[in-house]
Structure formats: structure tokens, C-alpha cells
Amino acid sequence: SACGKRAREEREGVERGDEEKGKVARYRGRIENDGFTYEGDIQNGEMCGEGTMTFTDGSKIEGHFDNGELHGKGIYYCDDGRRIIGTYNRGCLEGKVKEITAEGDRVIFEGDYVDNMRHGQGKLTTECGGVYQGMWKEGKFHGQNNVYHYPKVPGIPGNKSTPNRFYSLHGEWANGKMIKAAVFLGNIEVKDEKGNTIYLTEDISTDTCISKDPLLCDPYEHSLVIVRPSSIPNSGEGLFAKVLLPDDTIVSYYNGIRIPQSLVDQREWEMNSNTITLEEEDEEEKGTSIDVPPPYDKTSSYVASLGHKVNHTFDEERQNCVYAHCEHPRFGHIKCIQTTRRVAAGEELLVCYGYDLLNATGHGAPKWFLDAYAAHEASEDAKQLTALAATLD
């Protein structure tokens, strides 16, 4: 039996149906085990019929049970709220499956399962809008003719200056790793200046190597943004929209070498001007920060990603982007730049860095940030005084 030894069994409600010879009728009850608690139909001491199995981590399965095993349609509620909807065959999730976010607003994965894993044809949509489509093997994206679709950036209807930008990568993945994939724009293969096909491979940074090919641009990012002198005083270069950018769209990537957050905390701010924490969303990246150190802070040495070029402003009217988490087929788990409103072509992309003002004696905020904050507050006070004076005239 899948239940193992029962700690306790309780009858709740009325027995179902007439007892047959040598067979105990079903009844609603409860079975407790070291790893889970079951509530639902029970027959002959086994889970049998409709019921819910709740695990100690908070996850649970609602579905049909037969002789102590899941067998039939069921919904698995993960401990993070995600739902996996499919059909179980003697305890194993198999066949067509749909994975849905906790909020129910997005299908994460839709495709084939074998032995409780993604296996066969399937489509995975990431939180940042990228889509992996093709074959899966034992839970990993794996196939010769697989495709990664970048987030779609639709053009503005009737505006020929803002065409659709639907970039994708077509090629081979093995065990979740991109081996070699050609760049496509729509159905057209993208070529370099010499007419050669542009290929990308997995290129996850380390603590010493930012990229195997630091001068190879990301095609999607390169089509949307450009580096120019910043409009923010004393900020050097900034990142600008090449074209009209829609709201709530990933427009740039923030890759860099991977260093421990503890090292970042020990360094002076002059060495941390291009660092950003990956935070705790990815278990393997806990305590890790991304850094773009010299000489890679110069576009002459590094253009594989450009998110580190985005500057800060306290002016909420000018803020048009935020940092977000991203899973990139080339760079792996990184940060990205996501628009919070429509951004005009030629407009600078600006975020709020969000340093801790209250921790100014340590690594809460660099001096330039504190000075900028003081100047912003003084400007806001002056605006209020001017508005007040205008009401008194």
C-alpha cells in the first residue's frame, strides 16, 4: 500500500452502498501517516475513491485513489501554490499535464509527463515571458530541434516605425543546456555582417569569466536599447530606448561575474558600482551577486548584456523601469530590466536603485546616492514652497 503503516484511522459520515460479500463498503474517513494525512473515501483500510492527500510541507493532492494509489484525474498543489493538473497512473503523473501559477494567471508548462516528470513534447513559459518549446527528457529541455522564444514585443498597430520583434533561438538543447542555436527574427534566420548565421550557446558566467564571447550582443536586447551618454549628471553612460517600448516588457539583461554577497559587503562602494544581488528566488544562487567590473563596464570590452548601464533617479515621473528576475538560455539565472510604462524611442531607461538610506554608515547607500537624495528632497521642498506662494498671491 502507498499509505504505509497507518497511525490512526477515523470514520466520518455514512458508509457508501451496501456491503458485499467479502468486501467492506466505502466510507468517508481520515488516515494519518508520518509523511501525509489523507481525508476522503476509504475501503478495506485503503484510500479508495475521491480524496485529498496533504503532506507535511503544505503541499497536497486532490484526486481519485484506487487501492491506496492515485489513479485517475488529480490536481497537485505545490507548497509554493503552483498547481499541476493531470492524470495519474498508479501513483505516477503521466500523459497531458498543465502547470499553472498560484494566482492562476499564467500556464507555466503544458505538455507531456512520464513518471512524474516533463517528458515528451511541451511548452514552458517563464516568469519573464520567454518560452521554451519542443522536446523534454526526464524533466529537462532536451532535443535537436527545440526553440526558445524571446518575450514578444508587438509593434504599434498602424505605426510602421514600430514593427513586431519576435526573436527566437532554434537548435539543440541537452539536459536543459543550450548546445547551439541559431537566431531567428520571425521566420527569417539572422545573419551577421559577413552573411554568416549567428549562433548562441549556453554561456553562464563564473567568478572569473563574465562571458566566453563578451562582444556577442543579445539579438533581442540589441534591437530594443542602445548605450548613450546619460541625461543624469555625473552618471557617465546610460541606456536608451531604440524604439517605442511597451509597458511591462523585458527590454535588457543584467549579466556579470558571480561573486559572493559577503565579498560585496566587505568592499568599498567604488568597487560595487555595477553589482546587484540575485537575492533568494533561486536556491542555488542564494548569497550571490552579479558584478560587471572593469574593463567590462566599457562597451569596447563587453556588450553581451547591457542592463548594468541603467541609471538611477528619484524622480518618479522619470522612472520607467524596475529590476526583475530572469532565466536566460545563454546566461542562466540573472536580473533583467522591465518597463513599468510605455517608453518613447530615445527616452532614457531609469530605475530607482533602492539603497537603504537608514544604513548609510555601512553599505546601505553610497555617498552619491545620499547627496542625490538630499538634492531631490530640497527640490521637492522648493516646488511645494513655490506652489504655496502661488496660492497666496
Told to judge if 76 belongs to the known catalytic residues of this protein, a careful annotator would answer no
- DSSP string computed for 282-324: SGGGTTEEEE--TTTTSTTT--S--GGGPEE-S-TTT--EEEE
Q: Which of 29, 67, 27 is closest to 46 using CA atoms?
A: 67
Catalytic status, residue 363: no
Rounded CA separation 337/229 (Å): 19
Provide the 3-class DSSP secondary structure of residue 261.
Answer: helix
Distance CA 348, CA 210 (A): 25
Considering 253, 254, 296, 302, which one is annotated as catalytic?
254
DSSP state of 309: G
Lookup result for grid cell 493538473: 85
Is 150 among the residues known to form the active site?
no
Return d(Cα 69, Cα 119) in angstroms, integer: 22
Residue of 312, 325, 333, 363 with catalytic role: 312
Sign for the CA dihedral angle at 67, 72, 73, 74 comes to positive
Residue 199 annotated to the active site? no
**Which residue out of 27, 353, 355, 373 is catalytically annotated?**
353
Q: Which residues contact 287 (CB under 8 A, 6 or more apart)?
A: 260, 261, 262
> And the C-alpha cell for 242?
531604440
Active site annotation includes 302:
no
Place of cell 484511522: 9
Q: At which residue does the C-alpha cell 497507518 appear?
A: 6
Task: Give the contacts of 132 (CB within 8 A, at least 6 positions apart).
Answer: 123, 124, 126, 141, 146, 147, 148, 329
* Catalytic annotation, residues: 254, 308, 312, 323, 353
